[in-house]
Amino acid sequence: MIEINHRDPRPLYEQIQDKFRKMIISGALSPDTKLPSVRELASSLAINPNTIQRAYKELESQGFIYSMAGKGNFVASRDEVDPAIKDGLLAKFDELVSDLAGFGITPQDLYVRMKGGVEDAANE
Amino acid sequence: MIEINHRDPRPLYEQIQDKFRKMIISGALSPDTKLPSVRELASSLAINPNTIQRAYKELESQGFIYSMAGKGNFVASRDEVDPAIKDGLLAKFDELVSDLAGFGITPQDLYVRMKGGVEDAANE
Amino acid sequence: MIEINHRDPRPLYEQIQDKFRKMIISGALSPDTKLPSVRELASSLAINPNTIQRAYKELESQGFIYSMAGKGNFVASRDEVDPAIKDGLLAKFDELVSDLAGFGITPQDLYVRMKGGVEDAANE
Amino acid sequence: MIEINHRDPRPLYEQIQDKFRKMIISGALSPDTKLPSVRELASSLAINPNTIQRAYKELESQGFIYSMAGKGNFVASRDEVDPAIKDGLLAKFDELVSDLAGFGITPQDLYVRMKGGVEDAANE
DNA sequence: GTGGTCTAGACCACG
DNA sequence: GTGGTCTAGACCACA
């Protein structure tokens, strides 16, 4: 269900968190779906349960998932997500566009690029 | 000329590096301009010279600046910049666009956003 | 496992970096092998941990190794190595050959020399 | 007659020294030719005379040039050159070849490369 | 325990 | 005075 990349310089908990975040945002995981238990995922990935715990905790604080004591962790509905997340992404986007402008890449170039790349994302 | 934010979770050397990087690719600093000396900038930012040194060293290894021992650090010409930098930014861009798609933000939306915000960069 | 030469005019971090670089490209260290920890190597070489840290950091930025915070440093696979490294070696090679030509040493001479010396490397 | 590259990370005196060394080895400067005076070269390159002085001094100690007090500096005959220079180049050559072997570049590859590149050097 | 960052302070090479 | 290297020692994040 999820994989970790030992070459990735990011901490493990962040990789896991990101993978779930993406799956939730993209709709690959629909609301109220149960996530694998901490212990289960930890053993299947062969990493420390604390690492999973931390990833889940952060996802919860950002509103991506909710936890029910003794039951497990579940995907939250989209409108529970902290709006700051979206704003943060947009801010990053603006910054990135301005950096790319310095390399001579125009909004038009980027638009073409998006039209090419998003078709893949659309049918997933 | 440059400021650091002690709340920012990123390391100091990375903040400094980023600030200069942006100024260089935006053209705010033109080639062969002398950067502030290591000691000078360190004392003006009230941080350790080693931290500045490190930021400069990394900028140099990425091709943004060149250093002359005993003379100072100077901004390099645009075409000396490691092409991997641009590729890295584009990769980030793709990922960001796909995340934003999950929030219902389309390439069209982003194109409009870019057209609005990039006018500042256009008069470079 | 590794030695440093205090007579060598090159900086310590560069000597260390070079030793590992050679061991990695020669295949003496295979991918995913764990390197000695920063502290361990520092104490065994009787030099400061920061110096090792720096050597490792540069090896990482060139793609020779990857690091996992809290785990250690590991050798990367060959194809993650920055291609500029190879180009740099070839450029040095050309320059050296042209210098040697001035001493009356022809490509033929060098070819014979290579055939003699490279047999060791051949059984990799 | 000679140029310096301010982007080159090597110290100026080393660049100058290398340029002359190459011209002497290649035969572009024949024995007993008078080199430009320290003051002359310094002003034409717009750098400190001490820097030129140092370059000349090192060339002299390696046997590439000889100086006559009050007369100037002159190219030495080829057999005055410190034999350690040639040995040093050959040692570097061996090391380089072994590094390149790690990238899958064989002596044959290098021989072909030399045959291509040395023709240029031959007719200069 | 491991890597990563930062500080304080020293010494050297360069120009 | 400038960059470059190194040391000693501290504190934090990660697993």
D116 touches chain C (CB under 8 A): no
Taking an 8 Å cut-off on Cβ atoms, the answer to whether B89 and A110 are in contact is no
Span B23-47, average pLDDT: 95
Instruction: Report the predicted TM-score, pTM, of the whole model to 2 decimal places.
Output: 0.89
Question: How many distinct structural domains can be found in chain D?
Answer: 2
Looking at the structure, tell me whether residues A61 and A24 fall in a common domain.
yes
Half-sphere exposure of D26 (CA within 13 A, CB side): 18
Contact A11 C80 (CB under 8 A): no
- B74-91 tens-digit pLDDT: 999 988 999 999 999 999
Within 8 A of B69 by CB-CB distance, chain D residues are 11
Q: Which residues span the domain enclosing D72?
A: 12-80
Per-residue pLDDT at B121? 46
Chains in touch with A (3+ beta-carbon pairs under 8 Å) read B, C
Residue whose token pair is 């509905």? A77
Is residue D93 one of the residues assigned to a domain? yes
Select the residue from B14, B18, B24, B25 to test the A interface by mutation, using most A Cβ atoms within 10 A: B25
Residue B115 pLDDT exceeds 80: yes
D121 has pLDDT over 80: no
Closest nucleotide (C1' vs CA) to B49 is E7
For the record, the structure tokens of B58 come out as 């990394």
pLDDT of A117 reads: 59
- Average pLDDT over chain D, rounded to an integer: 90
Between the CA of A15 and the C1' of E15, what is the distance in angstroms? Answer: 49
| Residues of chain A neighbouring C80 (CB-CB closer than 8 A) | 7
Residue C3 lies in a domain: no
Residue B1, pLDDT score: 77
Helix, strand, or coil (residue C85)? helix
Residue B6 lies in a domain: no
Does residue D5 belong to any structural domain of this protein? no
| A77 in contact with chain B, both atoms CB, cutoff 8 A | no
- Given this model, what pLDDT does residue A2 score? 82
List the structure tokens of B21. Answer: 């990087």
Q: Is the CB of B71 under 7 A from strand E?
A: yes
Q: Is residue B1 a part of any domain in this protein? A: no
Residue B48 has pLDDT above 50, yes or no: yes
Q: In terms of domains, do D63 and D36 share one?
A: yes
- Percentage with pLDDT > 70 across chain B: 94
Q: Exposed, middle or buried by CB within 10 Å (0-12, 13-18, 19+), for B46?
A: exposed
Please indicate if any CB of chain B lies within 8 Å of the CB of D46.
no
Same domain, D71 and D115: no
Residues A21 and A37 grouped into a single domain: yes
Decide if pLDDT at B122 tops 80. no
Report the phi/psi class of residue A69: left, alpha or beta, with left for phi > 0 and alpha for psi in -120 to 50: beta
What are residue B74's DSSP bridge partners?
A: B34, B66
Contacts of A90 in chain B (CB under 8 A): 100, 105, 113
Chain centroid to Cα D15, Å, comes to 9
pLDDT value of residue B123: 45
The answer to the question of residue B5 being in a domain is no
Residues D74 and D25 in one domain: yes
Confidence of residue D123 (pLDDT cuts 50, 70, 90): very low
pLDDT in tens, chain C (124 residues): 789 999 999 999 999 999 999 999 999 999 999 999 999 999 999 999 999 999 999 999 999 999 998 999 999 998 899 999 999 999 999 999 999 999 999 999 999 999 885 555 444 4
What's the CATH code of the domain at B67? 1.10.10.10
Give me the mean pLDDT over the B31-39 stretch: 96
d(CA C37, CA D103): 27
The pLDDT confidence band at residue B116, using thresholds 50, 70 and 90, is: confident
Exposure of C13 in the CB half-sphere (CA atoms within 13 A) = 13
What pLDDT was estimated at residue A64? 96
Q: What is the DSSP letter of C78?
A: G
B67–D7 CB contact, under 8 Å: no
Identify the residue with better confidence: A101 or D124: A101
Q: What is the mean pLDDT of chain A?
A: 90
By mean pLDDT, which of A102-106, A111-115, D82-86 is the weakest?
A: D82-86
**What confidence tier does A34 reach under pLDDT thresholds 50, 70, 90?**
very high
D28-69 pLDDT, tens per residue? 999 999 999 999 999 999 999 999 999 999 999 999 999 999
**Are D114 and D107 within 8 A, CB to CB?**
no
Residue D100 and residue D115 share a domain? yes
Q: What length does chain A have?
A: 124
Question: Do C19 and C70 fall within a single domain?
Answer: yes
With a cut of 90, say whether residue A120 has pLDDT above it.
no
Beta strands at B65-68 and B72-75: parallel, antiparallel or unpaired: antiparallel
What is the band of A3 on the pLDDT scale with cuts at 50, 70, 90? confident
Residues C37 and C87 occupy one common structural domain: no
What is the SS3 string spanning chain D?
A: CCCCCCCCCCCHHHHHHHHHHHHHHHCCCCCCCECCCHHHHHHHHCCCHHHHHHHHHHHHHCCCEEEECCCEEEECCHHHCCHHHHHHHHHHHHHHHHHHHHCCCCHHHHHHHHHHHHHHHHCC
Tell me whether residue D4 is in a domain: no
The CA distance from B52 to B57, in Å, is 8
Give residue-wise pLDDT tens across range B53-78.
Answer: 999 999 999 999 999 988 999 999 98
Substitution target in C110, C112, C113, C124 with the highest count of D β-carbons within 10 Å is C110
Chain B CB contacts of C82 below 8 Å? 84
Task: Provide the pLDDT for residue D62.
Answer: 93
Q: Do C22 and C54 fall within a single domain?
A: yes
Total number of residues shown for chain B: 124
Distance CA C61, CA B57 (A): 12
C-alpha to C-alpha distances, C56 to A5, B57, C41, C66, C67, nearest whole angstrom? 20, 15, 11, 9, 9
Segment holding C24, helix H or strand E: helix C12-25
Kindly state whether residues A65 and A34 are assigned to the same domain. yes
Query: Residue A4 falls within a domain, yes or no?
Result: no
Chains that touch B (3 or more CB pairs under 8 A): A, C, D
Q: How far is D41 from chain B (nearest CA, A)?
A: 20
What pLDDT score was predicted for residue C52?
A: 97
C60: the nucleotide nearest its CA (via C1') is E3
Q: Which residues of B touch A121 (CB under 8 A)?
A: 98, 101
Give the H or E element holding residue B66.
strand B65-68
Give the residue nearest to nucleotide E5 (CA to C1').
Answer: B11
Residues A52 and A71 in one domain: yes
Specify whether B113 is located in the same domain as B58: no
> Could you tell me how many residues make up chain D?
124
Give the distance from residue C19's alpha carbon to the nearest chain A alpha carbon, in angstroms.
22
